[in-house]
Structure 1
């Protein structure tokens, strides 16, 4: 997460019979040995741009293909690992939206409920009115709620050199929302689209109010465990990374010297339900494949999740915690991107969930994943 980038009832029953293995190819179909060569070249190109290293996985009808390029630890010179875990940043938002849609399927919440119904008095001040904002508007980023990550008092501690004094600080959801309330709302709810991390802090708080449990526990019970996502956790306040993982390198946006720092260790509570999850490429592909394949949500809720609004000049469309992109080759892919100190990520899958790509860069100041997406899904 940076200040300028954004790039169970019936629901549980749907997940019980999920298969954890890769899809097997028919005996008559043989994969081309070079079918991912363009993707490999595009990943190498990211490293050539200056990113220390990149790790990625593709899942398709032939199974899974894992690759890595570049360096995982600049001090030791060790290579990136093909099965590294990493901080997924705003990809967390898709997990959170999935839980809320499952709760809707169970009749425990309605997406047209107001935020004020569930969190009375929390979203108030400087034009904010929780009674005029729906849960749906929170999830599709049309609420107009200000982004706490752009508040000076927060940004100095997280995006300037003060980060090194505060990297282990714990932030509560209530603190983060209160910071957002100190700023004027961005627009009248429903009148525009604007990416705000506060929306998903609010969403996590609503999950807790509805269920009585932390959002991370609900994700674990409803998504992680049924899908056997063994590399995925909501770490809470844990500052260290589980193994295997590489180091994460970042340039702090408010550092005038623009130096590269090792920012691997941090207390991710400042991102919370907007971006704290740790995972790996394999788990992300399994998650998005199951989600788009209709194995996590009933048909009605998946359709709601895929009902999109324009992202304006960012391109593409935004659903409920889900980005839709139509590539130049007319292939449509769904997923999310995510950034957190030293970690830049992208996870995309086709509409039927049968062809997925997930990648992580362990540097946050450069690197364009678009050529990788085009190479894998368009063959260019």
Structure 2
């Protein structure tokens, strides 16, 4: 009996030490990667950035770098708001999956059920999931030029649904902003509540995302926001915050801070099931549309074996690891978000400058985390390996 007690005690202390070692390794990685980000941002003279990293068992990081403006700006902190640009699409995908899982509508419902005017067009067979998986049949980026003009959203949609499709819905991939944003009209007519209110009341508030929100007024509600910057001949220049893409809120209308993105990443990892249930996460993460062209992107092609689009999320097989990803780019901003469910890890990087350095930093993060995991699989709090 005494021997058994000793063995049990030894096993228990061994597991405790393994967890502590893994936790220490994770925090060493956070420190090392944070310094790497800071160094590369300085090399490119990037005005400001917000970094968010989450590990469900070992802790989080929310950190600001640089300034909100190159001249006379305040220091970026974890509560500084950035435009998310197309990373906003992940919120649209998650909200749609949430509402579908709660029975407000089905993702394979015809859009015309909620927007009858679609039935009189070539898009009468368009389904809800086609909107959010970029498989409507439209030519890529249809009428983005009108989004960038002063034309109201409703007039853009009137023209959009008259464009001849290049394939039937569901048959081909074509990235969209205007067509994607029809989901807000579907949600309004299916639930009786505006898209923006759903996001604020049922995502931002319960997730304690206190800084960001929807629209240009939210972005400028106080002076703790990152101004956009464009590169001149020798240096970055502060630009005017433009309202254009805010008119397509599901596609590009959301703002968030580093602290906000920590909460968003945790929700994607399943830590807030009252906000995003397992059913909702499953619905949004299905591979609805094959995106073969992603396999040829210079920054990915050495790593990605398969590429799909879910509901508002890109889905990749990256060096044998399943991950969800999205990037964003509007004038003066670049953004990235990554979720690696099996590793219990999430990542977000927001820049107030249009710099390709974000591609390098994101790719480095993914590869370094995967390598660290495979060298020594982290342990959960009960001592069990997270390896699958």
TM-score scaled by length of structure 2: 0.75
Seen in structure 2, the aligned counterparts of structure 1 residues 134 and 356 have a Cα distance that, compared at 3 Å, is same
1:12 aligned residue: none
1:324 matched to which residue of 2? 315
Q: Which residue of 2 aligns with 1:53?
A: 48
How big is the shift at 1:105? Answer: 2.0
Q: 1:69 to 1:289 in 2, by over 3 A?
A: same
Deviations for 1:225-251, whole angstroms, at most 9, x for unmatched residues?
A: 221111231126667354422221136
Residue aligning to 1:205: 185
Q: 1:56 and 1:91 mapped to 2: Cα distance?
A: 14
Structure 1 partner of 2:28: 34
Q: Which structure has more helix as a fraction of its residues?
A: 2
Residue by residue over 1:259-300, the C-alpha shift from the partner in whole angstroms, topping out at 9 and shown as x without a partner, is: 955133536533322110111122223223213327244434
Deviations 1:297-333 (A, max 9, x none): 44344322211132221243211111223333x3332
Query: In angstroms, what is the RMSD of aligned CA positions?
Result: 3.1
Cα deviation digits, residues 310-369 of structure 1 (max 9, x gap): 2221243211111223333x3332242222321211111221573211110111254333
Say if 1:240 and 1:264, in contact at 8 Å, map to a contact too.
Answer: no
Structure 1 residues 90-99 or 238-247, which shifts more? Answer: 238-247
Aligned match of 2:256: 279
1:1-380 alignment, distance < 5 Å: 30-32=23-25, 34-36=28-30, 37-42=32-37, 44-49=39-44, 51-60=46-55, 61-76=57-72, 79-122=75-118, 125=121, 128-129=122-123, 131-146=124-139, 150=143, 152-155=145-148, 157=149, 172-181=152-161, 183-235=163-215, 240=220, 242-250=222-230, 260-264=237-241, 266=243, 268-293=245-270, 295=273, 296-308=275-287, 309-315=289-295, 316-328=307-319, 330-352=320-342, 354-375=344-365, 377-378=369-370
SS in 1 for 2:338: strand
Distance 2:309 2:67 in 1: 33
In structure 1, C-alpha distance between the alignment counterparts of 2:126 and 2:196, rounded to whole Å? 24
Superposed CA deviations along residues 34-68 of structure 1, whole A, max 9, x for unmatched, are 31313531453244245333220212233222334
Deviations 1:179-216 (A, max 9, x none): 42354324321111111112321111101111112101
Count of paired positions: 334
Identify if the C-alpha distance between structure 1 residues 45 and 327 changes in structure 2 by more than 3 Å, giving closer, same or farther.
farther
C-alpha contact (below 8 Å) 1:240/1:266 kept by paired residues? no
Deviation string 1:161-194 (CA, Å, 9 cap, x unpaired) is: xxxxx6xxxx644223124235432432111111
Partners of 1:356 and 1:101 in 2: CA distance: 19
d(CA) in 2 for partners of 1:186 and 1:142? Answer: 11
Give unmatched runs, 5+ long, in structure 2.
1-17, 296-306, 373-388
